[in-house]
């Protein structure tokens, strides 16, 4: 989302807690198009190089569990077509409650390389890499001026509010998935799969398994 009033770009990445932030920012600047949570990306095709660029990162091990629970919930509500995210959704349908088998059986790299749909791509790339997918531009994670960490959401968001000149706001946790601590869903093999796929996030943000 782009605010010309406050001169910032907030790049939304799925399953990183952006829904609450998005809702508040839209209230502060009514001219921001509210595209809805189903669309987590905005094309950046104008000169906004001087705008403050903001996004949110999340520990990829936890993000993977949240992603699985999100699509599992949508399947149970019959709110998704198998054709969307076909390989991932098909495996969630088949294994249902076995995230270890879902992770093992899905080639996330293949899903990413075989689709031109940004909404599909952005769910399976790292937060760092997702910036260019989300904006359909040459922006990368290095171009983000301020990363908010999901694990430190409120405190980091307060800093952003001060930076762009809007009042601080206590954030509700919208779209929260109900599940055990993410570490309980992994074994050594699945840890290695996620570590390899999301190596850029783990290295750049200093994430570790178990934190």
The string of pLDDT tens digits covering residues 126-169 is: 899 888 877 777 788 999 999 999 999 999 999 999 999 999 99
The highest-confidence range among 77-81, 126-130, 170-174, by mean pLDDT, is 126-130
Are 105 and 185 in the same domain?
yes
Are 18 and 90 in the same domain?
no
Assess if residue 171 is contained within a domain: no
Question: What span, in angstroms and rounded, lies between the C-alpha atoms of 53 and 51?
Answer: 6
Question: What span, in angstroms and rounded, lies between the C-alpha atoms of 4 and 9?
Answer: 9
- Whether the pLDDT of residue 190 is over 80: the answer is yes
Distance linking the first and last C-alpha atoms of the chain: 30
pTM: 0.83
Question: What span, in angstroms and rounded, lies between the C-alpha atoms of 19 and 153?
Answer: 12
The DSSP output letter for 85 is T
- Whether the pLDDT of residue 94 is over 70: the answer is no
Bridge partners, residue 55, by sequence? 11, 147
Range from 4-13, 133-142, 196-205 carrying the lowest mean pLDDT: 133-142
* Averaged pLDDT score across all residues of the chain: 81
Are 120 and 188 in the same domain?
yes
The highest-confidence range among 10-19, 23-32, 201-210, by mean pLDDT, is 201-210
- Alpha helix locations (H) across 151-205? 153-164, 188-197, 199-205
Assess if residue 100 is contained within a domain: yes
CB atoms within 10 A of CB 102: 24
Q: Which domain holds residue 133?
A: 2-59+127-164
For residues 166 and 192, is the Cβ–Cβ distance under 8 A? no
Are 30 and 55 in the same domain?
yes
Assess if residue 172 is contained within a domain: no
pLDDT bracket for residue 61 (50, 70, 90): very high
Closest CA relative to residue 35, chosen from 58, 17, 18, 53: 18
């Amino acid at each position: 989302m782009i605010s010309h009033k406050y001169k910032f770009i907030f790049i939304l990445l799925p399953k990183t807690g952006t829904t609450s932030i998005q809702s508040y920012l839209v209230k502060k600047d009514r001219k921001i198009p509210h595209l809805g949570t189903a669309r987590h990306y905005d094309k950046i095709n104008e000169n906004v190089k001087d705008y403050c660029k903001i996004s949110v990162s999340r520990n990829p091990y936890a993000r993977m569990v949240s992603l699985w629970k999100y699509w599992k919930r949508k399947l149970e509500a019959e709110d998704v077509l198998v054709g969307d995210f076909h390989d991932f959704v098909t495996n969630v349908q088949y294994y249902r409650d076995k995230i270890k088998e879902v992770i093992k059986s899905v080639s996330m790299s293949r899903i990413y390389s075989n689709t031109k749909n940004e909404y599909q791509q952005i769910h399976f790339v790292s937060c760092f890499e997702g910036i260019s997918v989300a904006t359909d531009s040459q922006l990368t994670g290095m171009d983000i001026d301020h990363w908010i960490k999901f694990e430190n959401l409120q405190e980091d968001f307060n800093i952003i509010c001060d930076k762009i000149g809007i009042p601080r706001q206590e954030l509700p946790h919208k779209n929260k998935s109900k599940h055990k601590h993410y570490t309980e869903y992994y074994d050594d093999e699945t840890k290695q799969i996620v570590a390899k796929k999301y190596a850029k996030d783990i290295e750049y943000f200093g994430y570790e398994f178990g934190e």
